[in-house]
Amino acid sequence: MPYALYVCLQDEDKIVPCTMDATTGQLTPHAAVPVAGGPSGLALSPDRQVLYVGHRGQPAISSFRIDPATGGLTPQGTVALTHAPTFLAPDRTGRYLLAAYYQGGYAAVHPLGADGAVGAHGRGQRVAGWGAHRAVRAEGMDRRIPALIIRGK
């Protein structure tokens, strides 16, 4: 797969995929992908085959399959939410997506399908108080158990 960069244009409801020349760093934009609801935060699956998108205008998380030859995006699924996710990070296994919610003041773990698609509401919510704005993926002592570190106001 060529080097790829994905640019969210939140106010225009789209993501612009770009390829990058590995020698010069030159970016070449490709056809924009419409993504309703104000795409903002992005995360990449551990196998680099799925792009996760947080929506700010209409709170949701979507997943897109990445074409390994072109870097193009194909929608896989969307989960509507009560609050817009501020930060997304998949665990190392690719089975869960960790999310922090600034307005809601919590973090949640979203299960992922076998194909990496987001398809269920978060479970294991941890209330952190209003203003939680970042979740950082950290591995537990045995390096298999994901842990959330939440920083509030």
Domains of the chain: 3-150 (2.130.10.10)
Record the tokens describing residue 99, joined without a space.
Answer: 């999310």
Q: Please name which of 7, 9, 11, 27 lies closest in space to residue 19, comparing C-alpha atoms.
A: 27
How does pLDDT run across 90-130, given as a tens digit for each residue? 988 999 998 888 777 778 889 999 999 997 776 666 665 55
Query: Tokens 């996760």 — which residue?
Result: 52
Q: How far apart (Å, rounded) are the C-alpha atoms in residues 47 and 106?
A: 27
pTM here is 0.83
Cα Dmax for the chain: 46
Q: Please name which of 58, 149, 48, 53 lies closest in space to residue 110, comparing C-alpha atoms.
A: 53
